[in-house]
Chains A and B, each alone.
Chain A
Amino acid sequence: MQTTHSQSVAGGLPIRPTPGVPSSWRADEIAPANANVLRAIVGNDYVLTSVADRYAYARDRLPYGLFKLRMGELPGTLPSAIVIPGSEAELIAIVKFANRERLRLIPFGAGSGVLGGVIALSCEVMVDLKRMNRLLELNEMDGTVTVEAGMNGGHFEEELNARGFTANHLPQSIFMSTVGGWAACRGAGQASSRYGKIEDIVVGLKAILPDGRPLVVRPVARRAVGPSIKDLLIGSEGVFGFITELTLRIGRQAQVRRGITLAFPTLQSAMDAMRGIVQGEGRPSVMRLYDLEESTQRTEGLPTFAEFPILVILQFSGPALLAAAEEEFAMQICKLHGGCIAENRPYEHWEETRYQSYSVKWQTAGYYMDTIEITGAWSALPRMYERMRAAVLSLHPDAYFGAHWSHIYQEGACQYMTVRLPPMPEDEALALHRKAWKEVQEICLELNGSIAHHHGVGVFRNEWLRKELNTGMDMLQILKDGIDPHNLLNPGKVGLRAHTDAAQLTRVASV
């Protein structure tokens, strides 16, 4: 990789200082000749090389990265430049040039990922896709919409709503993420229990492979032509190509939408009710079950919860007749398991704040807060919860652990955990934080769950991916080596081989 400071490497070797930047930061800049070629492709305004611009692209929302930035350190390195193509043709030209010059590239959406999927590890060039942001076609007959990958998720959904439709993919991050980012990290929305995750909603896509060749997966309902190429891109986090265009299933906006708050006597009784609803073929549009810790925070002062402390939120939507039938069915199941209808304030509060994902108090006051989401089978979830909770709480007397289950399936559910450590010296905190991750991921694997439900792998989960995928990891590496032999596209992510000069993002726990 040609840069103006090509001798700089990470891992304890000397870092050549860059003017205006702390000496500990690795900040190699793209060679001026290469920057000029990129400018010729996209125009002068769309190549950024200043340190300040590159600093803004040196992070996503990985909490570990936030901890480092709070301390004045980088999560990885600065990118060497940012290039912002406005079309597929410009992107192809960038990728082909990068191949010739061995420039490493990272596809960048809105940077809302929380696993470090777009963090530069060796001063890669960021390719910001947000200029490719048009809604291309809404096909009412087929019930699909085709959109460029860089479109803001909130803008996309609002445009669909204005025409009477919805994509039914409503992640908490909808206003701060791109449609392409949803697919790249294999994300989930809050209505996933009814409409599925993004891999269930995407029916076709276009991508640019690491050598610049275009790939088209034509949008059709189903196919039987070998393994799904679409699914090699969905969740690939940019290691197999740039997703440039997506065709998604859409539906009519709901005729009715009704939310209900329920209270249950125990966590197990509520879990049994959730399982009973989905295994009985009920499909509420929203299903959310909270553990005692998270229930208590949301139900303070509500009389029903004094006796029935576990909170469940359900939402029924769609055609009025269908929603009413779904509601009646679900209420029967809940009653069978000891649930009762409670004051609706928790549902209303959730509805009001459903797209807010930032905890000001904890993230800015020196706490170490993170979220970890896993998938477990119904038969394993109670043990997973108890063991993970105990493991995290044992790390520190003031550690916090809370969990909820909001993506519910016939076979199991996503367990979404919030872990928080109090302010303490940096080295101690980072070691404990990593240990919390290690405990949770290893218990998950031991109990046959999946280590990630919808946040993806990024770089922070690399350590556990081989255990998750076993020999499937070899298949992914062989594929990567075949289509990206110089390891130029988002190297070192999704458990794949990193370059020898890559920054080591995480520290191994020493406690």
Chain B
Amino acid sequence: MNSANASAEAVIDVVSSLRVCAFCPNTCRSSYAASHLEQMESHTPSALSLIALAYLDGQLGKDSGVVETLHRRSALLESRGHCTYGLDMPSVLSAALEDKI
């Protein structure tokens, strides 16, 4: 596999992981603290994935507050290791948004 193909596959893999997470009902929810901020919907891994997809697709522009929202990652980080489907969403989100926000 040449490097261009590998890179394309990695992009597909990242987007595919975002889609899995975006439509998951937050099965990892109890892994992040019950403290108020981390339980806000827009802090959850699933919401961050949904918002990231909309941003990458061009549906949500930068003036939608998307950049600030996508930088709130404490719940996301706490969920690492608790994904029912074995995804490492903090890494996926970082890879998906690298240089884009």
Contacts and interface: CB of A to CB of B under 8 A. Distances in A.
B19 A48 contact: no
A21 B16 contact: no
A130 interface: yes
B29 A175 contact: yes
A45 interface: yes
Interface stretch (A150-158, A207-215, A302-310, A437-445): A150-158
Given A22-B59, A130-B36, A363 B50 contact: no
B81 interface: no
Interface in A5-59: 19-22, 45-46, 48, 50-53, 55-57, 59
Interface in B5-31: 16, 19-20, 22-30
How many of chain A's residues touch chain B, expressed as a range?
35 or more
A175 B30 contact: yes
Contacts, number: 132
B38 to A, nearest CB: 10
A19 B50 contact: no
Contacts of B44: 56
B84 to A, nearest CB: 6
B59 to A, nearest CB: 5
Contacts of B41: 53, 56-57, 82, 108, 111, 128
Interface in B41-75: 41-42, 44, 47, 50-51, 54-55, 57, 59-66, 68-70
A387 interface: no
Contacts of A112: 25-26
A355 B69 CA distance: 29
A50 to B, nearest CB: 3
A82 B25 CA distance: 19
B29 A360 contact: no
Interface in A66-94: 66, 69-70, 72, 82, 84, 86
A131 interface: yes
Given A51-B65, A130-B36, A175-B30, A56 B42 contact: yes
20 contacts: A20-B64, A21-B59, A50-B64, A50-B69, A51-B64, A52-B55, A52-B69, A53-B40, A53-B65, A56-B47, A82-B41, A84-B36, A130-B36, A133-B36, A152-B29, A155-B34, A158-B30, A175-B29, A358-B85, A360-B20
Return the 4 tightest CB-CB contacts between A and B, nearest first: A50-B65, A20-B64, A20-B61, A51-B64
Interface of B: 16, 19-20, 22-30, 34, 36-37, 39-42, 44, 47, 50-51, 54-55, 57, 59-66, 68-70, 84-85
Given A19-B64, A21-B60, A358-B85, 11 more contacts: A20-B61, A52-B64, A52-B66, A55-B50, A55-B64, A56-B69, A69-B50, A72-B57, A112-B26, A130-B36, A357-B27
